[in-house]
Structure 1
Amino acid sequence: MTALLDRPAPTAAGGLSLRRGAARVLLGNWTGAGTVPSRTLYPHQWSWDSAFIAIGLRHLSPRRAQRELESLFAAQWGDGRVPHIVFNPSVPDGAYFPSPDFWRTSTAGARAGAPRERETSGIVQPPVHALAAWLTHRADPRESRRRGFLPRLYPRLVAWHDYLLTSRDLGGGGLTAVVHPWEPGMDNSPCWDTALARVTPADPAGFRRADLDHGHPADRPTDLDYGRYVQLALDYRDAGYDDRAARHRFALEDPCVNALLIAGEHALAEIAAYLGEDAAPHRARADRTTEALVDRLWDAEAGLFLARDLADDTLVRERSVAGLVPLLTPGLPGPVVDRLVATLDGPGFHAGPTALVPSYDLTGRAFDRTRYWRGPAWFNTAWLIERGLRTHGRHRHADRVRTAILETAGATGFAEYVDPTTGEGRGARAFSWTAALTLDLLAAEEAPREAQR
C-alpha cells in the first residue's frame, strides 16, 4: 500500500497528492471489517457505499476490498436481501437515527430471514455489488483465488438479484421496485414528491433526527419529508418486512436501480464463466431486464428514463440524474444512447463550471442547488455516468466528467456532494465513496501511461 501511495499523482488543494488524500480518507474511515461513509454523519456500514468503496479500495488493498464486501454480505437476510445498513454494535443508538431499536429486524424480520446475531435495517439500496465484486477480483486474481472470494460471494450475489427480481417485481413488468425513498439512495429527490404526498408523516415527537447534529438543515431533507420516511419504515416493519403482505403506499420502479441490476447481471455472467458455471441465465436476464427498462421507463420526449409510480402505473414527470444512469446498460438501442447524451449536454444537466451532473434538472420546478438530492451533484452518480459513456464509446464526454470528478473531489476535501453551479462542497467532508471513486479514476487514467512505458 505504501508504494502505491508514494507514486506521483495530480495535486489537490493545499499541495497534497490527490491519491494520498483519497487513501487517507479510506484508511481513516476503516473500522476493521468495513468502511463507514463518514465518521460523523454516517457511523455504520451502508450497502451501496460499501460497493463503491470496494471499487476504490481494490487499488490500495484488494484483500481489504474483498473484506469490505464480505462483511456486508455476512448480514444478508435469508430471503436474499442485502440490508441498506449494517449496524456497528459499538456505536451508541443515539448517534444515528433510525437506530437498531427502531428497525427491530432480528425480531420483526425473523420470518424474512433477518440475521439474529447482527442488527440491520430492513430496506435495501441499489445493487452495485456484483460489479464491485468482479472489479475487485480482477484487481488481484491470485489473491482472490487464494481466499476463495468469488466462490463464496457468487451464490450470495445470485440470491440478492433473485430477491430483487422476484419478491420486488411489484409491478409484474420484469423490473425491481423500491418501497422507500432511502432505497434508491436518492432520498429526497423530487421524483418522490407525489408518492410521498400520500403518506401521513409520523409524529415528530416520536423520534429525533440525529442527522441535523452534523448536517446543515438547508442541506438535508425537510422535517415533513423525514416524518414520511419514518412512517413508511414503521409500516414496513409492522408488516414483518414482507414485500407481498405490506401495503406499499410508496412503490416505484427506478431507472438507476434497474440499470445497476442489469450491470450486475452482466458482472454475474463474467463471474459465472470464470467459475465454470453457466453464464447464459445471467446474460438472458440482463437482456430481459434491459427490454423491460426501455419498455417501461424510457421517455423520448423527456430525453431520459423516468421512474414509474406503481400506485397508478404512470411515469413520474420529473427529470433526475437517475434517468441518465442507464447509460451503463450495454444493450441500449443507439437512438436512446444518442438522446441521453444530448440530454446530458443540454441546459437541464450541463452545469457549466463544475461539469458534474446535477442530481435534478437545473431548469426543473423543484431545483435546489444545496438540498441533498434536489439539485446538488454527487460523485457516485458522476462515476456511473462516466462509466456508461465509455460503455458506448463516448470517450470525449467521459473525459470531461472524469476531469470534473478529480478536480472537484480534491478541491472540496472529498465532499459528500457539491453545489452544481459553483462547485462548492456540501454535506460531509472526507466522504468515503468520493475518495474511493477518485482512486478508481486515477488508476484508469494512469493505465494507458503504464502501457506506453
Structure 2
Amino acid sequence: MYAPAVSDLSAELWQSAARVLDTNWSGDHTVPSRRLYPHQWSWDAAFTAIGLAYVNPSRAWRDLRSLFEAQWPDGRVPHIVFDPDTAEDDYFPGPGVWNVPAYAGRRPRSSTGLVQPPLHALAAWEVYRHASAHGAACAGEARTELAWLYPRLVAQQDYLTERRDAGGTGLAAIVHPWESGLDDSPAWDTVLDAVPADRTLLDRHPRRDLAVADATHLPTDRDFARYLGLVLNYRDGGYSDTDLVQRHPFVVECPAFNSILAGAELSLAQIAGVLGRPGAASRHRDRAREITAALARRLWDPATRTFRARDARTGRLSPARCVSGLLPLMLPDLPADRAEAIMTEARSERFGLPAPSADRTGPDFDAGRYWRGPIWINVNWLLRRGMQVHGHHGEAETLRRAMLRLVHEHGHYEFFHPDTGAGSGAPAFSWTAALCLDLLADRSAPAYARAA
C-alpha cells in the first residue's frame, strides 16, 4: 500500500501546479488535460476553480461562468461543454453524437445531455472565500460573480432534486455511469449486466481514447458499447427524465453523487447568507438535512455497515464496496455511527489512505484500470473534508501529506497506482494540480461544518 510520509514541500510543487493550470487554460475555460480531454468537463471545472482561487481568482470565476452559460433551460448543467474550435473527431462521443437542441438564449456552444456531481456550489463558495481575501477589487468581483451564479446553482439543484428523483425516494438518480464522475466503477457492474452490449455500435462509432491512452487503463470494449448504448437511449428519448424507471435501463442512486448534492445545499446556505437571503439559507440547510436523511436511510447496508449504490429499477444494492461509499462522510448531519463506520472502512485493508477507487480485496479490483482500483486525488480530497467535518483531524492531515507526496514524486497525473504510486492516465491533469494548491494551503475544516 502506498502511504508515504511528508515533512516539507518546497515551492516547486506549487509552481508546477500553477503551470499545469496555465497550460490547460483555453482562453475561456480550463480543459482537464490537453492530451485526452480537449473540452470543458463539469465537475472538473469545479475542482479546478477551487485551485485557481489561490493564483487567479478571475479565471476561477470565468471557468464557472463559462460552464453555467451552457446550462439548459431545465436547470441541468451538462457534463461536457464542447469547444467549438475543436474538431468533431478529436473526442468521442463528440457533439454530433449527442445532437443536443440549440435552446433559445443559450450560447452557441454544444454540450452533452448528461450531468455530473453538482460540486459547483461548493467551488463557488471556496472561490468567494479566497478571492475576498485578495483585496477590495477581488472582493467586489467575487460578490458580483456569486450573485450571478446563485440562481443558476439553485436551478441546478432543483433539477436534480426534482426531475431526477426517479424513485420518489428523496435522492437524485444518475442515468449513465459517466454522470457519477466515477465512470467505470464496479458499483455499476450489476446494473450494467442487464444492459445489452451491442459491439456493432463501436464499428459505427470507433473509440478515440484508445489512440491516446493505454487500453489497460480504460473501460473495456464491452463496457464502452454499453455506455454508448445508454447515451443513444437517453438521447433518442429527447433527454427526458419522465418515467425513467420504466423506460431507461440505467437508473441508479449513487452515495457519492447524493453526498455532493447535499453538500451543495450547505454551500448554497453560506452563499445565500452572504447575499442577504436568510430565508433561502434556512431552506438550503433543511434540504441538506433531508437529502442526508434519505441517503442514510436508502443507501446504507446494515449487514456490511457500508454505503452502496442502489438500482432504482430493481431496488437492489450493489454488492461492490467502492470509494463512493466513503463520501457521505463529508456531510455534518450524517449519524455518528454511520460516520464512524465509514472511518472503519477507510482504515481497513479494503481501502487504506489514500483510498483506492475500489475495494483492494474485491473480485473486480484492477490496480490499473480507471475507477476500478487506482487512487484519485479528487475523491480523496473530498474524503479529507469529511474527516475534518467529523473531527478526525490527525488522519485528515496524514491524508493531506500522503496526497501531496504522491503528486510531488510522480507528477500531476490523472490517477495513481494504488501500490507503487506511479502516475497514470492523462499527464498535466488540471484537478490534480488545482487540488494540490488547496492542499498546500492547508486550510482548516470546511466553513459549513464550523457554521452548522
TM over 0.5: yes
Q: Could you tell me how far apart the structure 2 residues matched to 1:441 and 1:407 are?
A: 11
Q: How does 1:141-160 map to 2 (within 5 A)?
A: 141=132, 142=136, 143-146=138-141, 148-160=144-156
Q: Is the 8 A contact 1:106 1:115 kept in 2?
A: no
CA distance, structure 2, for counterparts of residue 442 and residue 301 of structure 1: 39
CA contact (8 A) 1:76 1:114 kept: no
Partner of 1:21: 16
Residue pairs, 1:314-329, within 5 angstroms: 314-329=316-331
1:103 corresponds in structure 2 to 98
1:5 aligned partner: none
In structure 1, distance between residues paired with 2:224 and 2:354 = 27
Contact 1:201 1:230 in 2 (8 A): no
2:58 to 45, 60, 63: 63
1:50: how far off?
A: 0.3
The structural deviation recorded for 1:333 is 1.1
Q: Offset at 1:265?
A: 0.2
Q: Partners of 1:386 and 1:289 in 2: how far apart?
A: 21
- 1:299-352 CA-to-partner distances (Å, cap 9, x unmatched) read 2332321001011112111100000011110101111111111111101001xx
Percent identity of equivalent pairs: 48
**2:80 is aligned with 1:82:** no
Is residue 92–residue 209 contact of structure 2 (8 Å, CA) maintained in 1? yes
Give the conservation status (yes or no) of the 8 Å contact 2:54–2:131.
Answer: no
2:70–2:107 CA contact under 8 A, matched in 1: no
> What does the per-residue CA deviation read over 1:264-313, in whole Å, with 9 as the maximum and x for residues that have no partner?
00000011111111211101100111100100011233232100101111
Paired with 1:407 and 1:126, the residues of 2 have a C-alpha distance of 27
What residue is the counterpart of 1:264 in the other structure?
264
- Preserved CA contact (<8 Å) 2:65 2:149: yes
Equivalent position of 2:391 in the other structure: 393
Q: Which residue of 1 aligns with 2:313?
A: 311
Give 1:62 shift: 1.1
| Letter matched to residue 342 of structure 1 | T
Equivalent residue, structure 2, for 1:4: none
Bigger relative contact order (CA 8 A; separation at least 6): 2
Change (3 A) 1:245 1:329: same
Runs of 4+ in 1 over 6 A off after TM superposition: none
Query: Residue in 1 aligned with 2:222?
Result: 224
Please tell me whether residue 240 in structure 1 is matched to residue 238 in structure 2: yes
- Aligned-pair Cα RMSD in Å: 1.6
TM (norm. structure 2) is: 0.92
Bigger CA drift: 369-378 or 145-154?
A: 145-154
Q: How does 1:103-142 map to 2 (within 5 A)?
A: 103-106=98-101, 110=103, 115=106, 117-141=108-132, 142=136
> How many Å separate the matches in 2 of 1:185 and 1:295?
23
Residue 347 in structure 1 maps to residue 349 in structure 2:
yes
State the Cα distance separating 1:115 from its structure 2 match.
3.6
1:247-279 deviation per Cα after TM superposition (whole angstroms, max 9, x unaligned): 210000000000001110000001111111121
User: Following the alignment from structure 2 to structure 1, what is the Cα–Cα distance between the partners of residues 291 and 406?
Assistant: 34
Gaps in structure 2 of 5+ consecutive residues? 1-7, 446-452
Change in Cα spacing, 1:245 to 1:333, as seen in structure 2 (3 Å) is: closer
Asked if residue 283 in structure 1 is aligned to residue 285 in structure 2, the reply is yes
* Deviation per residue, 1:119-144 (Å, 9 max, x gap): 00010000100000001011122424
Please give the secondary structure, in 2, of the residue aligned with 1:69: helix
Whether 1:382 aligns to 2:380 is yes
Secondary structure at the residue paired with 1:17? helix
> 1:56–1:438: 8 Å Cα contact kept in structure 2?
yes
Structure 1 pair 114–226 and aligned structure 2 pair: CA distance change class (3 A): farther
8 A Cα contact 1:83 1:123, kept in partner: yes
Q: State the alpha-carbon separation in 2 of the partners of residues 311 and 236 from structure 1.
A: 16
- Which residue of 36, 44, 47 corresponds with 1:41? 36
